[in-house]
Homo-oligomer: A and B are copies of this chain.
Amino acid sequence: MSDTQAVLIAGKWRQSAGDSTFQASNPKTREKLPDRYPVSPWAEVEEAIEAAAAAFEELGGLARDKIAAFLEKYADRIEARAGEIADIAQLETALGREPRLGTIEMGRTTGQIRQAAAAARERSWVNAVIDTSNNVRSMLGPIGPVAVFGPNNFPLAFGSISGGDFVAAIAAGNPVIAKANSSHPGTTRLLAEEAHAAAQETGMPAAMVQLIYRTTHEDGEKLVSHPLIGATGYTGSRSAGLVLKAAADKAGKPIYLELSSINPMVILPGALKERSDEIAAEFQASVFMGTGQFCTNPGTVLLLADEESAAFVENVKARFGSAPVGTLLSEGVERNLVAGVQSLREAGAELLVGGGQGGGDGFSCQNSLLKVDGDTFLSNPEALQEEAFGNASLLVIAKDSCQLKQILKTLEGNLTGCIYSHSGGGDDDLYSEIVPTLRQRVGRLLNDKMPTGVLVTPAMNHGGPYPATGHPGFTAVGIPTSLVRFGMLQCFDGVRQHRLPAELQDKNPNGRMWRNIDGRWTQADVAV
């Protein structure tokens, strides 16, 4: 097995003890790539967990600035190897090399890492609350070793050892055990090399970052529910995620999931009257971004039945028919997309264009547009909300505003929901009528813009009610907000000053950290 890539456990790159392997594919050619990656046996996973627990103990005594320095060094190292990383990411995912992988996603990735470093230095994310008269003080402390399962669609910015969950867990003070996504193990390996080298250069504990490529499903469940694990971050398919969720829930271990989302978009009549073709063009750009493989891809569009809607449908149909067909991430995505479109048809949707496998290079499926009327949707709302992940979208035509609201009431939880409306206020009454229903079902509500852009800002919510995620109170994107997921609330009651963590002592540890002292937010010291 010496031709099999090594795992990173307890600070060492070494051959896996496992005897089975897997290979990724080149989506453009449908052929297997040459490198073999191991399936780690349970003993190896457990060794990683124990090493992470030891690293967590070591971290307790380490200044938060050192973790920031590690992250900054890591960002520098990624940049120094950016070309090679983007090349292998393109080979494994068929996503665009430029600007998508090499510039946009790479820049977002190193940007996120540096933002997380800044958050670790600044420390306001710990939400320090100080009651001076009773000497009761609390903050979010690190939760413990974090397992991260990354998705297939953003090999860098959501990657298990480079993405949003990873940097949030590390910046919050926790070691990470990364489980590579099976569709881009080579990309993950290069990133892990840089992460580990940066960790060593900056004096992190040996097992600050660890990497395994795959486990059995059963061992995945044991990992997320292990007593020494603090929490898990998972982004991926709903079916696999729900199995991990059940295991983690049973053990009382927090698991933050991003599972699926059809990102409903409502286009109100005034907007269509005003700028139908413009909206169709925006929609086309959004829905085919990354061959439709964005978590926030607009998969369901709600319209009111009228002439403008009919024209919009024709416009979009023509765009779907003539747009180039992109390559999908994997054979699994191709299979699921073809099956997903077929399921929507079986549930009553009419196929306007596309639907067949192929049409592009390698793994691909024709650009698929479906349509269903409101009565049919309401007769089978669950099946008609099944996510068809990829370059497909469903138009739902409600007969009137009352039915539109009924349809919105049947929606499951989603990451986003958009409303397009007349710029001059012509749709305001209808907007007010439907927005409370949509608001409660989505994490992020957009006006007059497509949901595919997910800014890294503290005000972002990349989250939402189940089944978009497992809990509607948390976001996976946005620093420092995303760090909160990997903290536990720690209260200190009557604890002597010198025994308190620096963040809760009278003196503000850096003069910049925001703390809530006796009900006021301030960067000042506690007045003594």
Binding site for B on A (CB under 8 A): 57, 60, 129-131, 134, 136-138, 140-141, 143-144, 245-246, 249-254, 413, 416, 431, 435-436, 439-440, 443-449, 455, 457-461, 463, 465-467, 470-475, 481, 484-485, 487-496, 499, 514, 516, 519-522
Contacts and interface: CB of A to CB of B under 8 A. Distances in A.
Contact of A130 (B134, B440, B459, B472): B459
Given A57-B436, A254-B471, A499-B431, A490 B458 contact: no
B252 A465 contact: yes
A136 B455 contact: yes
Given A129-B481, A130-B459, A246-B250, A60 B489 contact: no
A493 B446 CA distance: 5
A40 B49 CA distance: 47
26 contacts: A57-B436, A129-B459, A129-B481, A131-B455, A134-B455, A136-B459, A138-B460, A138-B461, A140-B473, A141-B440, A252-B465, A431-B499, A440-B488, A443-B488, A445-B493, A446-B493, A449-B493, A458-B519, A460-B493, A461-B490, A465-B488, A472-B489, A473-B485, A475-B489, A514-B520, A521-B521
Contacts of A431: 499
A237 to B, nearest CB: 16
- Assembly stoichiometry (copies): 2
A141 B464 CA distance: 12
A447 B253 contact: no
Contacts of A448: 494
A202 B233 CA distance: 44
A490 B438 CA distance: 11
B460 A491 contact: yes
B475 A131 contact: no
A249 B253 CA distance: 12
A121 B253 CA distance: 35
A463 to B, nearest CB: 6
Contact of A143 (B472, B490, B522): B472
A287 B169 CA distance: 39
A439 B252 contact: no
B489 A473 contact: yes
A474 B447 contact: no
Given A489-B472, A491-B443, A466 B253 contact: yes
A58 B439 CA distance: 14
Contacts of A463: 489
A489 B514 contact: no
A260 B446 CA distance: 42
A129 B458 contact: yes
Nearest to A431: B499
A505 to B, nearest CB: 14
Contact of A246 (B137, B249, B484): B249
Nearest to A463: B489
A240 B165 CA distance: 34
Given A489-B472, A521-B521, A249 B245 contact: yes
Nearest to A471: B254
Given A136-B455, A493-B446, A494-B449, A473 B254 contact: yes
A487 B461 CA distance: 14
Contacts of A250: 246
A409 B475 CA distance: 31
A503 to B, nearest CB: 13
A439 B474 contact: no
Nearest to A133: B457
Given A445-B490, A448-B494, A459 B57 contact: no
Contacts of A489: 443, 461, 463, 472-475
A504 to B, nearest CB: 9
A47 B271 CA distance: 39
Nearest to A416: B493
A494 B471 CA distance: 24
Contacts of A413: 252
A494 B458 contact: no
B252 A491 contact: no
Contact of A488 (B129, B457, B459, B473): B473
Contact of A446 (B251, B490, B494): B494
A414 B249 CA distance: 18
Contacts of A520: 514
B446 A252 contact: no
A252 to B, nearest CB: 3
A466 B144 CA distance: 13
A140 B463 CA distance: 12
A141 B442 CA distance: 12
Contacts of A487: 473
Nearest to A250: B246
B249 A457 contact: no
Contact of A458 (B253, B443, B516, B522): B516
A466 B131 contact: no
